Amino acid sequence: MTEPLTAPPTADQLFEKLELAIHEHQLAPGTKLGEDDIAEIYGVSRTTVRAAFQSLSHQRLIEHKRNRGAFVAQPTVQDAREVFEARALLEPRTAYSAAQRATPDDIIKLQAHIDAEHTALHAGQHGHALYLSGQFHIEIARIADQATIAAFITQLISRSSLIIALYWQRRAAMCESHAHDALIAALANHDGARAEELMKNHLLDLVTSLDLRNKTSAPLSLKDALSRAPR
């Protein structure tokens, strides 16, 4: 029996695939994203690719260089400092609010994030573990029920993924399990002050694990990078 042909991705689906590839560090900062190459790899039209690029650009995950095309964004040291300063202002108070609102179902969902992160780490899938770690922080913002702030935090965490790809100097840049475990305990106990303090220290530890000196990455070719990404 003939296997059914898989339909090519829509622009939104292509955006999600490329977004995940960037967050999981399959596409390194500075990688050139050729329209023709992306269209060939995913079996889509250049119109679809351009629509996906527009969404990626809106999320500041790619940047367009005049007469050169699209590239995975490369945040500067200044960008990195601003992103983590903003996270330090927003996320501790968000953790405080989340602790006041967290339900048993919320705690189960957060624990599932940690379990999936541990599984990825044990499998050597550090990029995927980093993505899941970011989703853990986004989930805390969702629990806090502050939609506007959650949207800001989501974008900041998206930028953080690029920053870690460029400036990561030790594995501790990936959220350590004990930090997330402690946060879950504070949220489950509705201890807002404890959750706020833990988040503040957690973000400080994350910043100190980065080497904030100007760097550029050495990306693989686009086809080599995406050959490891799910289609």
Mean pLDDT across the chain: 87
Which residues, in sequence order, are bridge partners of residue 33?
Answer: 70
Contacts of 212 (CB under 8 A, 6+ apart): 77, 80, 81, 167
140 and 100 in contact (C-beta within 8 Å)? Answer: no
3-class secondary-structure state, position 115: helix
Q: How many CB atoms lie within 10 A of CB 37?
A: 15
Mean pLDDT, 10 residues at a time, the chain of 231 residues: 66 94 89 92 94 93 90 92 95 97 96 90 85 92 93 92 81 63 96 97 89 62 62 53
16-35 pLDDT, tens digit per residue, is 999 999 988 889 899 999 99
In this chain, the answer to whether the domains covering 11-74+216-226 and 77-208 adopt an identical fold is: no
**Residue 8, pLDDT score:** 87
Alpha-carbon 136 to chain mean position: 10
**Residue 214, pLDDT score:** 62
pTM more than 0.75: yes
**Residue 217, pLDDT score:** 55
Task: State which CATH number among 1.10.260.40, 1.20.1440.230, 3.40.605.10, 1.10.10.10 fits the domain covering 11-74+216-226.
Answer: 1.10.10.10
**Residue 174, pLDDT score:** 54
162 and 73 in contact (C-beta within 8 Å)? Answer: yes
**Residue 173, pLDDT score:** 47
> Looking at domain 77-208, what is its CATH homologous superfamily?
GntR ligand-binding domain-like (1.20.120.530)
Domain boundary assignment for the chain? 11-74+216-226, 77-208
CA dist 5 → 1, 8, 14, 41, 49 (Å):
12, 9, 17, 16, 20
